[in-house]
Amino acid sequence: MQVKRQTNGPKTEAPGAAASPETETIVADICVIGGGPGGLSVAAAGAAFGRKVVLVERHKMGGDCLNYGCIPSKALLAAGKRAHAMRTAAVFGISGIDPEIDPRAVHNHVHGVIAAIAPNDSVERFTGFGVRVIPAAARFIDKSTIVAGEYRIKARRFVLATGSAPLVPPIPGLDSVPYFTNETIFDNQQRLHESYGIVDHTNDVLHELARAETAVLRAESGERGIVGLAGGVLHEGQSIIAVRHKE
């Protein structure tokens, strides 16, 4: 499938549009913004129906799911479950052992799983479907036109599949301690010991936290939404009001 190209863009700029650095205008039936699972599904389906589809992704194909969500988290969970099974094998009559964990090797396992799945979401695969993939950030300049990198893209329909980003809650003191989000935790290659609390706003579950070594989360009764921990005890339905280095 070929998309129609116009090498000379419109002469008039939309109000508020920046000076035009783009060199090519692409006209398509569907322009999908975001190459995560949502955008990829729509792009593949549109191309399968013979539509002219352009997909714009500003960062990594596969979006959160492949790179910062479903895939790395399940790979990490698999490693954790294996270690747990080794520790608790005694119930099956097998000597339990405390496995030695190499954080760098676990990191490599996680990224190996991502790399194995990445071809499914790749530019090459979607290009093969007939989707024109543009690796750039999209922004609208009018209701039927976006600019992405050096391209101007006009489409009958736009699909916004731009996903989400982690929210760092405005907890006093949080900036004074190291913390991870789902966009950074899977790049970690160091042992965390028992110094991190995990706040999972989506599931209302605080998965795991042992005694804090570098940081302490202080919790107080409060609104539901963020689960807090004090002194290693789970307290659902509480709000974290502060985080500070352990004294």
The residues binding ligand FAD (CB under 6 A) are 33-39, 56-60, 63-65, 68-70, 73-74, 137-138, 161-164, 182
DSSP at 200:
B
Q: Select from 184, 227, 194, 241 the least CA-distant residue to 67.
A: 184
Is the CB of 69 or the CB of 130 nearer to ligand FAD?
Answer: 69
Closest CA to 3 of 53, 57, 42: 53
Whole-number minimum distance, CB 64 to ligand FAD, in Å? 4
Q: Left, alpha or beta for 163 (phi > 0: left; psi -120 to 50: alpha)?
A: left
In whole angstroms, give the CA distance from residue 106 to residue 79: 7
CA distances to 69, 182, 191, 215, 221 from 103, in Å: 19, 17, 6, 21, 35
Which residue's CB is nearer to ligand FAD, number 162 or number 238?
Answer: 162
Q: Which is nearer to ligand FAD, 85 or 160 (CB)?
A: 160
Q: Which residue is nearest to ligand FAD (CB)?
A: 163
Which residue number, 39 or 228, has a Cβ lying nearer to ligand FAD?
A: 39
CB of 89 to ligand FAD, least distance (A): 27
Shortest Cβ 32–ligand FAD spacing (Å): 9
Q: Report in angstroms how near the CB of residue 91 gets to ligand FAD at its nearest.
A: 28
CB of 183 to ligand FAD, least distance (A): 8
Is the Cβ–Cβ distance between 14 and 136 less than 8 Å? Answer: no
Coil vs helix vs strand at 97: coil
Cβ distance to ligand FAD smaller for residue 169 or 172: 169
Q: Is-contact 43 131, C-beta < 8 A?
A: yes
Closer CB to ligand FAD, 70 or 118, in the complex: 70
Are 138 and 56 in contact, with CB atoms under 8 Å apart?
yes
| Rounded least distance, CB 111 to ligand FAD, Å | 15
